[in-house]
Structure 1
Amino acid sequence: MKSFTSFDGVEICYRQWNSRAKGVPVILQHGYIANARVNWVLPGIVFRLTMTGHRVIALDARGHGRSDKPQDAEAYGESRMARDVSCLIDELRLEEVDLVGYSMGATVALLVAAQDQRIRKLVIGGIGAHTLSLGRSHNSQVKKKLAAALLTPNRRSIKHPALLGFRLFADFMRADRNAMAAQALAFHSRKIPFERITNPTLVIAGRNDPLAIHPEKLQAALPDAQLCITPGNHSTALMSLQFKSALVTFLS
């Protein structure tokens, strides 16, 4: 993997495939606790994109994968991750890119599209109507409970199934749980300026994804968006043939 130093000194790692391919490059931003390999390589998404002639770039978000892992919540949040994506575009001297984000990475992608004019097409997956309530709902207690679940030495003490799921995933990934807790406390909670996101957008959601409820409302909030419902839940939707086919068709 290659790396670059982002705006605040955090080292961000990324990989490229088909670097000599012509056309608009595709940048992939993964979800919370995951990394580029888990979200994009293993499900075959990078393979499908490269086989259809795309140059593909996937980064590990700060705190994730091989990128730097600050321990302070002030170093995290999707707004900072969005700046990391723009810094990567600067680093590679790209004039235009297509941007794909999943789950946490979808929020990152929305924030990038709202402020960076170099985004051509946008794909957001694994999120739904909840994203529209950012800035209106108070979720500080949820953030604290998630951080506590990630940090407790005894995961058997975690009673809430969703919190336990995040903790088990972090343990499976051998993630830096201090970094994950810091990001949990910094999750984006401000209103996203959807009116500024005029890019052609594809919203993808798994039919059984509890984190992407009512994706049609998210589609309706975007000026130029279409919706694709695929089989699967939050983890398995990425693996479905429909996800990959919709992505490749939209970006072609």
Structure 2
Amino acid sequence: MHKFNSDGVEIAYEVAGEGPPVLLIHGFASTGRVNWWDTGWVKTLVNAGHKVITFDHRGHGASEKLYDSERYPAIAMAGDARRLLDHLGIAQADVMGYSMGARVAALLAIHHPERVRRAVFAGLASRMITGVGGSEAIANALEAPSRDDVADAGARGFRVFAEQTKSDLKALAACIRSSRVKITAEELGRINVPVLVVAGEKDDVAGDVETLVKAIPGSRGVTLPGRNHMNAVGDRGYKVAVLAFLKGGADA
């Protein structure tokens, strides 16, 4: 794994394959490896002829851990993504984010549209606009002495996942208190690159696909039957839709 300095924060990243670049942005409490390598995404995209770039967000995985919530605004994470492209000498890439990573990808497309060829927002749909909620409960769950001390079932689920990914719980608590910014429909309406929105049918974290599609001119949406927030990420239908979208196909 390689590392670079992103405006004073050490960010870990990996690159695989050759061809048109795709930047993959993972979700909260996950890592580039867990979100994209372990689910077969990197292999799928490399086999389709792409150079694939994954990285660990600040506070996650092998990247630098920060304990001040003011260091974790989503726009700062989008800055890390942009500076990674700078570091690799990549002028423009396809960008795909999952969950928190979708929010980061959207901010990258809004503020640096020249760096994004196509964008996939997955695992976060209408709630990108309306907000997800529960940030303080999740932060408290991460800071609890043990998972057994967490009464809130949803927050406890994040604690369990964070432990599974061997995350720094204190750093994640700081992150969740700052990173869940809402993006207005007006801001999303300024996105001028092709966008694909993907979420599971049973994903209560993401919300509905159609609301986000309506907010982004010319975007397309895919709802994955029977999938929820945790099991949608490796879904075969998700991969098929994205491969078609990246090729510029009419059917995603």
Assess same fold via TM > 0.5: yes
The superposition leaves residues 80-122 of structure 1 with CA deviations (integer Å, 9 ceiling, x where unpaired) of 1000001011111112110000000000000000011110100
Q: Does 1:247 align with 2:246?
A: no
2:21 partner amino acid = P
2:38 aligns with one of 37, 42, 48: 42
Superposed counterparts of 1:97-246, under 5 Å: 97-116=93-112, 117-134=114-131, 142-192=134-184, 193-231=187-225, 232-246=227-241
Gaps of 5+ in 1: none
Give the drift of 1:189. Answer: 2.4
The superposition leaves residues 191-247 of structure 1 with CA deviations (integer Å, 9 ceiling, x where unpaired) of 341122111000011111111221110011001210111242111111211011111
Distance in 2 between residues matched to 1:189 and 1:109, nearest whole Å: 13
2:74 aligns with one of 73, 78, 83: 78
Q: Does 1:27 align with 2:23?
A: yes
Distance in 2 between residues matched to 1:75 and 1:66, nearest whole Å: 17
Local SS of the residue matching 2:233: helix
Distance in 1 between residues matched to 2:236 and 2:135, nearest whole Å: 33
Structure 2 contact 91–115 (Cα < 8 Å) conserved: yes
Local SS of the residue matching 2:120: strand
Provide the alpha-carbon RMSD of the alignment.
Answer: 1.4
Give the drift of 1:74. Answer: 1.4
Q: How many residues were matched structurally?
A: 243
Structure 1 contact 31–103 (Cα < 8 Å) conserved: yes
Structure 1 contact 143–187 (Cα < 8 Å) conserved: no
Structure 2 contact 97–120 (Cα < 8 Å) conserved: yes
The match for 1:2 is 2
Local SS of the residue matching 2:177: helix
1:128 partner amino acid = A
Q: Compute the TM-score of the two structures, normalised by the length of structure 2.
A: 0.93
